[in-house]
Amino acid sequence: MKKLLFISAFCMVQAGVYAQFAPQQGVVGSTAVSRNSGAFTGWATGCTVQRGYADIADPSQGYPNIGVEADATGMADGTLLSLGDSGVVVLTFASPIYNGAGADFAVFENGFGNPSDPEDAFLELAFVEVSSDGVNYTRFPATSNTPITPQVPGSGVYMNARLINNLAGKYIFGYGTPFDLAELENTPGLDINNITHVRLIDVVGSVGDHANMDKDGNIVNDPYPTPFAGGGFDLDAIGAFYQHGKFPVAVTGIQQANIRIYPNPTTDNISISVPDSYTATITDITGKLIQQHSLAVGNNQLSLTALAKGSYYLSLTDANGNKWAERITKL
């Protein structure tokens, strides 16, 4: 929603006994992903939205009208699509998303930080669901440990990201909230290596009659009511890290000079010399996972004997989610 309409702000929470998840962007330990990260292989290309009311408790106020569906496609750029209370948006991709090493996609909203406390930010949240057939959806198990604090209509409220998990909108503008499909492994009817649709559902934020619950039955508290043209969750974009037939166009944080891959091409084994511990993933050109290994500092040898001749992609991911990638060839 348009943050300029808010006239005041107060701190909703302090990180306390419930602080257990990654903190806000800029704080050590954050999992926020920059929109400029070279790890992205692509962005959503299709969008359909069903807006909710500007205030679910008072339908006479109508619907928010900020943005059109096209504003939610492409790279995160600050053009927004406001969902309204309980609004629903479905994003599709030119190529399906698959489960790789670490997070597989990230959702961008336009929250803003508290200038007095880097741990706090004004955040609007949404549930995230995925589907491999466009019909059946599975929700990421969301947690909200934000206290149930009375809210002031028309005013901003700051929240602590350490109390929030698996809810889109956890991070401020320009930084995406990552989601890992591995958390949904073995879900009946869901192929985590062929995700075609991502659905977001606005969290109303009410602590009263229209409250939404997290996976544990806790009320999910975020700013409410927000009866404005930009009310509800403001979707900027969804970017994918792993898509069939696509690969990151750049590295993020891992310097290529510190990594040696040899011989390449190879007929049998490949050696990987690394300065730190990494997760190594080998996929074929369609994005299908072939091998995954843990690499220790120094020289590591991987066997490609069982692989058919052809080209593959090797990606390395460190503990902070930074990635390095190279195309390898089996002769």
Q: Is the per-residue pLDDT at 209 higher than 70? A: yes
Q: List the single range of 33-42, 207-216, 296-305 with lowest mean pLDDT.
A: 33-42
pLDDT of amino acid 150: 66
Contact status, residue 246 vs residue 95, Cβ threshold 8 Å? yes
For residue 113, count other CB atoms closer than 10 A to its CB: 19
Give the closest residue to 44 by CA, choosing from 85, 110, 89.
89
Sort 65 into a burial class: Cβ within 10 Å, 0-12 / 13-18 / 19+.
middle
Q: Same structural domain for residues 55 and 100?
A: yes
Contact status, residue 63 vs residue 51, Cβ threshold 8 Å? yes
Edge-to-edge strand list for the sheet holding 105-108: 33-34, 175-179, 105-108, 237-240, 42-43
Decide which of 161 and 36 is more confident: 161
Decide which of 152 and 94 is more confident: 94
Residue 190 within any structural domain of the chain: yes
Q: Six-digit token pair at 115?
A: 């200038």
Q: Same structural domain for residues 142 and 183?
A: yes
Task: Please identify, among 240, 264, 283, the residue that sits at the C-terminal boundary of a domain.
Answer: 240
Q: Looking at residues 155-159, what average pLDDT do you find?
A: 75
> Residue 319 gets which letter from DSSP?
T
pLDDT of amino acid 222: 92
Q: Same structural domain for residues 260 and 234?
A: no
Q: Is the per-residue pLDDT at 169 higher than 90? A: yes
Q: What total number of domains does the chain contain?
A: 2
Residue 171 within any structural domain of the chain: yes
Q: Which residue has the tokens 């492994």?
A: 185
Residue 247 within any structural domain of the chain: no
| Strand ranges in 276-319 using DSSP code E only, listed in sequence order | 278-284, 289-295, 298-303, 310-317
Region of 217 please: left (phi>0), alpha (psi -120 to 50) or beta.
left
Cβ-proximal residues to 172 (8 Å cutoff; 6+ apart), any chain: 24, 25, 32, 110, 111, 112, 113, 121, 123
Q: List the single range of 42-56, 104-118, 169-183, 313-327 with lowest mean pLDDT.
A: 313-327
Q: Same structural domain for residues 163 and 67?
A: yes
Contact status, residue 161 vs residue 121, Cβ threshold 8 Å? yes
Cβ-proximal residues to 252 (8 Å cutoff; 6+ apart), any chain: 37, 38, 39, 321, 322, 323
Q: List the single range of 35-39, 203-207, 285-289 with lowest mean pLDDT.
A: 285-289
| Strand ranges in 134-223 using DSSP code E only, listed in sequence order | 138-139, 143-144, 156-160, 164-165, 175-179, 195-202
Q: What is the pTM of this model?
A: 0.76
Q: Is the per-residue pLDDT at 18 higher than 70? A: no
Q: Is the per-residue pLDDT at 228 higher than 60? A: yes
**Distance (Å, whole) CA 308 – CA 168:** 40
pLDDT of amino acid 328: 83
Read off the amino acid at residue 314.
L
**Distance (Å, whole) CA 151 – CA 193:** 41
In this predicted model, what pLDDT tens digit does every residue of 61-97 receive, in sequence order?
Answer: 999 999 999 999 999 999 999 999 999 999 999 999 9
In the predicted model, what is the mean pLDDT of the chain? 87
Q: Same structural domain for residues 91 and 212?
A: yes
Q: Which residue has the tokens 């989610």?
A: 321
Residue 325 structural domain = 256-330
Q: Is the per-residue pLDDT at 217 higher than 60? A: yes
| Percent of all residues in the chain with a pLDDT value above 70, rounded to a whole number | 88
Decide which of 97 and 154 is more confident: 97
Q: Looking at residues 42-48, what average pLDDT do you find?
A: 96
Decide which of 319 and 55 is more confident: 55
Give the closest residue to 234 by CA, choosing from 96, 75, 94, 78.
78
